[in-house]
Amino acid sequence: MRRLLIALAVLFAIGALATAHIAYWYLPRARAVRPDSRSPVAGLLAQEQFPAVLWLPYPHQNLGVLDPANPRHQDYLAAFARLTGLPPVVLPSFGGFPVVPSSELALAADTQGESFVVMAQVYPALAAFSRLAGRLADNPWLAGGPVTVRGRSAKVSWQGNVWMVRQAGAPPLELRAPSPAATRASALGVLALHRPIDPFPAGIYRLRADGTRLAVTSERSMQTALWQRAGAIIDRELVLLMMAGPGSRHGVQALAFFRREPAAGELPRAAVLERSDGVPDHLWRVPGASLARLSGGLRQGQAAGWKLRALGRRGLDAARGLAPRAAAVAATRPAADGVLVWGLWADLGNTRDEVARLARLAERLPLIPRREARRWRDAEIVLAPVADRFRALTVVVAGAPPALRLELARRPALLAPSSGGDD
């Protein structure tokens, strides 16, 4: 009996250790890490021949936090790229894993997504097992060799425990240490933009989290006064606002969506605000404006120096109420305060519902261009997992040279990031 109890205790201890090992190294959770300047994977951040490079620690865990139930990361990344104009990101699968289990992963791509490089520091035991399994199963994705990605040739190779996928025609790599800005602090992710992609300036962006928010900040800090002034624009009626400010090449313009009553018709409560002194181009148009114009539902007016175009009388009234606050945020200020280049404010739950409804409407109406319908559907794809876990989004690009600050306000059920000795 004593031996049996000892054997059961040993089995229990082994099971507990295995469970703890899997939970710590594999299950979804947020893990912030400082990029290691000696790592060849982090060294991809310094490859200036690529306009954008993304570095992620423990990607199978950090990406799993966003969508733990059904992580369709490739669809999400493709929709995000189309919306933002950033290079399309290819995230190859690894055996049975949708994202390679690794301590770090880096992705680099050109602006068209025609060439890319993916590097991952795979866990040592998993790397050895994968290479052996790949050779036995004649699987080049695991063992290394030529593969096909989106109809184009690529090659998988191993350098120690570093797994690399390089598409044919990708620029040659000259791996060197990333900049000090990229390795200065722990992060859930680091993005290196080697060239500006309007409205985002070139530089290093770091993703971090605390108990109440998830934030992306540029290497240059946002002026506190402008950030606080921008935050004052939010009110209970506003669902979504996008604004180009005095520092934008598009002139001062804004597109706003307001809360819509459940009994309201198909068209949203939306308005476009433009400075009355004219703008170089019309960056935004009122959704459904052509249909509203035919039915007499497109209203125009002026308020606080803005020209207003809105759907319906209530949409115009809401735009008039927004105009003074929008004017204060878009006003030219001394350099110490910063000048707005671009901003976005969103109540994520309501925005997600409104965007999904507009995507369905755009797909049903033959007068709306297919590319416009696709943009609404892409916006729904990007918003869906974020809106489930965050309640509000604020993005501000401001200053000269410009700085960026993005904040996602968390919902209470989200897990706080784990340090776990990863720093």
* Closest to 150 measured CA to CA, from 191, 118, 195: 118
Residue-level pLDDT at 423: 42
Alpha carbon dihedral 82, 86, 87, 92, in 10-degree steps, equals -70
pTM of the shown model: 0.79
Residue-level pLDDT at 6: 52
Q: Beta strand pairing status for 269-275 and 253-258?
A: antiparallel
Q: At what angle do helices 348-364 and 370-387 cross, to 10 degrees?
A: 150
Residue-level pLDDT at 279: 63
Residue-level pLDDT at 320: 93
Residues whose CB is less than 8 angstroms from the CB of residue 349 and which lie 6 or more positions away in sequence, other chains included:
387, 391
Q: Average pLDDT for consecutive 10-residue bins of the chain (423 residues)?
A: 51 46 56 87 88 88 59 69 69 68 87 79 89 89 87 88 87 78 85 86 87 84 78 79 85 87 67 76 68 65 91 88 87 65 88 83 72 82 83 86 86 43 43
Residue-level pLDDT at 19: 46
Cβ atoms within 10 A of the Cβ of 233, count? 20
